[in-house]
Chain A
Amino acid sequence: MTKRKFGLGLSMMLAAGTMLAACGSEEGTSTGDSGSGEEKSDFSVAMVTDVGGVDDKSFNQSAWEGLQAFGEENGLKKGDGGIDYLQSASDADYNTNLNNLIRRDFNVVFGIGFLMEGAVKEIAEQQPKAQIGIIDAVVDAPNVASVLFKEQEGAYLAGVAAALMSETKKIGFVGGMEIPVIERFEAGFLEGVKAADPSVVVDVQYTGAFDKAELGKTTANRMYSAGADIVFHAAGGTGNGVFTEAKERKEANPDENVWVIGVDADQYDEGQVGDTNVTLTSVLKGVDKAVIDISNKAKEGNFPGGETITYGLAEDGVGLADSRGAIPEDVMAKIDEYKEKIASGEITVPETVK
């Protein structure tokens, strides 16, 4: 008993120590805060991820990489007065995270993803002095810069590539949720396939989630089993399952002709199996470029508040990643042809599936 009592006493003392220590350092932190508040001359920028998290190998990650590049260029470190990010565990956290960053005096705060539309709208009204950027949605407020992408144009090129590269004339599309952004990918992809080779069949499947890799894997499994040899995914984390399925097939049978087209960022590293790679190419979405672009404008004092900026092929905001030899040159030439036509406005890619 005495031993137990001693243990109990010890643990309580430890706890008390922790609590007292916490009280002690409170002053230290608060003075630190006010200190950073005074050095407003330095430009700082931060972002809030949606529920995908900062390592989603997709647009949240791309945005953070953009911020990091911006930070490196301008000698900014992670933390107050530099660059930083906060992750959201649920929809209810967006407001709080945006507010927290604004309170930490970041000059520009980005909300990444259409999911944050409501939160950005609300915070923009409450904090009229804050400069907020939102990706993939339009918020009509004088202190919000809205960023949209012409995903359909990048996906169109992927469609051309897939149609010309497919041997079975069957390809697949795996979408996340049926929302306008993803539907733009689908519409562009279908249109591109049709333009390059109308005989190619596209199997379109939506998984209803961006964070369910297992769903992506089973969907891809069905597509490959049904004879598809190329699958394009626009499904964030769900798409990682598409890569897993393709890699497993390649591992089991190195001669099998399976390819994946990645999305948002260059997903070449995702497709590595031994010495080969299943990534045909990736549809790039320049979230990083947009973030850097707006940060630079804001730094010069030209924050595009109240404006909607659209990045397409012409602005180099979307495009295809380096295929690293997976796509032969004659096909690349054809893709470049379409690319020029879109950039010049000769071809207009529809935003929705007809």
Chain B
Amino acid sequence: MSTKATNILVPVISVILGLIVGAIIMLVSGYNPVDGYLALWNGIFGDLYTVGETLRQITPYLLAGLAVAFAFRSGLFNIGVEGQLIVGWFAAAYVGVAVELPKIIHLPLALLAAAVAGALWGFVPGLLKAKFHVHEVIVTIMMNYIALHVTNALIKTVSGGGDRTESIFASASLRSEFFENLTEFSRLHYGIILALVMVGVMWFILEKTTLGFELKAVGFNHNASQYAGMNVNKNIVLAMVISGAFAGLGGAMEALGTFEYVSSKAGFTGIGFDGIAVALLGMNTPLGVIFGATLFGSLKYGALNMPNAAGIPLEIVEIVIAVIIFFVASGYVIRLFLLRAAKKKEAK
């Protein structure tokens, strides 16, 4: 079998296998898989509203995926995207509430605040890794908790004892009347454009700049990079800062687009953790992240319609969605299987 055919077959087979196993789970639990998948399909592409909402759901996944992928390319496992996203969310909402400025200044300022907050949250583990060789996984996990509870405390202070901030001024909002009218009042906002631009920015940094070349070199082998005269420590810190900035922007999408406020959270949003899967599904490339985020966002959002239209409990739905993603992620196994099959054929 040619490589080209394998490349096309692998994702197709993995999605189909995921759908079949998901169908079996629904059948065994006593629900109609046809109704279920139909509801899923309609939940994603049913009408303009759902398409708008699906795109809205994809937006933060794009940025979270970029954040994880960027760190991965530099050999760093940034589990702290969740925390960086939460501080970015807070920073953007805070700037959105605290001052009222002309839109042309206010919106970029809020976005910048989110990026800086996220970058700062990435800087700490980056610095600790570079200076003291503290493993970034441990630090970033702990930074997630710090982010969650610090922002909760700040929200309480800012809102005067409440559990959420006021809604941001319109001048800081990413909401778009144009998109709203186009998609029957979905919460689709301009953030999707920004997220796609950021995909381009990541590609540009990695592929077209010296910095990107160095980051990738450090990712491949930091000893060799050092020997070649690169400043490994500086690159580690930079990679975490840029990764954190992407994550912070992901938080800004929620703060300035989806919610227009920030409320205290009892637990993590999950977007940052899903970002790990998004990045890995996309092989840590910018284009791949678009694919991963689209798959994740569509399934996550479409799944909401399964209890609504097909009466399947949310718990079963989440298992089915997880199974589909599981099979897509295990595409490598299917590839191996196909290769073996091809080899055996040759041997005969």
Contact = CB atoms under 8 A, between A and B. Distances in A.
Report, nearest first, the 8 A-B pairs whose CB atoms are least far apart.
Answer: A15-B16, A209-B266, A179-B163, A126-B185, A100-B308, A87-B314, A22-B38, A21-B34
B308 A211 contact: no
Given A11-B16, A25-B34, A79-B311, A100 B263 contact: no
Given A15-B19, A18-B33, A91 B304 contact: no
B138 interface: no
- Point out which of A15, A53, A114 has the most chain B C-beta atoms below 10 A from its C-beta: A15
Contacts of B163: 114, 177-180
Nearest to A117: B164
A26 B49 CA distance: 19
Given A208-B149, A212-B266, 18 more contacts: A1-B341, A1-B344, A4-B341, A11-B16, A12-B13, A18-B33, A22-B38, A25-B38, A29-B38, A79-B311, A87-B307, A87-B314, A90-B270, A97-B308, A104-B308, A118-B261, A178-B163, A209-B267
Contacts of A95: 187
Nearest to B15: A15
A226 interface: no
Given A22-B41, A177-B163, A12 B34 contact: no
B329 interface: no
Given A89-B314, A180-B162, A100 B35 contact: no
Interface in A269-311: none
B259 A11 contact: no
Contacts of B34: 18, 21-22, 25
Nearest to B344: A1
Interface string B137-166: 000000000000100100010000111100
B101 to A, nearest CB: 23
Contacts of B48: none
Interface string B298-322: 0001001101110100100010000
B16 A100 contact: no
A202 B16 CA distance: 58
A18 B267 contact: no
Contact of B264 (A11, A22, A179): A179
A281 to B, nearest CB: 26
A96 B266 contact: no
Interface string B22-39: 010000000001110110
B259 A91 contact: yes
B318 A89 contact: yes
A5 B259 CA distance: 50
Interface of B: 13, 16-17, 19-20, 23, 33-35, 37-38, 41, 49, 53, 57, 149, 152, 156, 161-164, 167, 185, 187, 254, 258-261, 263-267, 269-270, 301, 304-305, 307-309, 311, 314, 318, 341, 344-345, 348
Interface of A: 1, 4-5, 8, 11-12, 14-15, 18-19, 21-22, 25-26, 29, 51, 53, 79, 86-87, 89-93, 95-97, 99-101, 104, 114-115, 117-118, 126, 176-180, 208-212
A214 to B, nearest CB: 13
A18 B308 contact: no
B179 to A, nearest CB: 14
B305 to A, nearest CB: 7
Nearest to A25: B34
Contacts of B19: 15, 18
A270 to B, nearest CB: 21
Contacts of B185: 126
A96 B35 contact: no
Given A89-B314, A99-B49, A118-B261, A177 B266 contact: yes
Given A1-B344, A18-B19, A29 B259 contact: no
A13 to B, nearest CB: 10
A101 B343 CA distance: 54
A11 B20 contact: yes
B86 to A, nearest CB: 12
A12 B348 CA distance: 26
A314 B198 CA distance: 58
Contacts of B265: 91
Nearest to A53: B314
A57 B250 CA distance: 35
A176 B259 CA distance: 23
Contact of A15 (B20, B258, B305): B20
24 contacts: A1-B345, A4-B341, A5-B341, A15-B19, A18-B19, A18-B20, A18-B34, A22-B38, A29-B35, A53-B314, A79-B311, A86-B304, A86-B308, A87-B314, A96-B53, A97-B304, A104-B308, A118-B263, A178-B163, A179-B163, A180-B162, A180-B163, A209-B266, A211-B267
A89 B16 CA distance: 26
Nearest to B310: A29
A14 B20 contact: yes
A104 B305 CA distance: 12
Nearest to B152: A208
B147 to A, nearest CB: 14
A90 B269 contact: yes
Contacts of A18: 19-20, 23, 33-34, 37
A1 B308 CA distance: 43
Nearest to A182: B163
Contacts of A177: 163, 264, 266
Contacts of A211: 266-267
Contact of B305 (A12, A21, A22, A100): A100
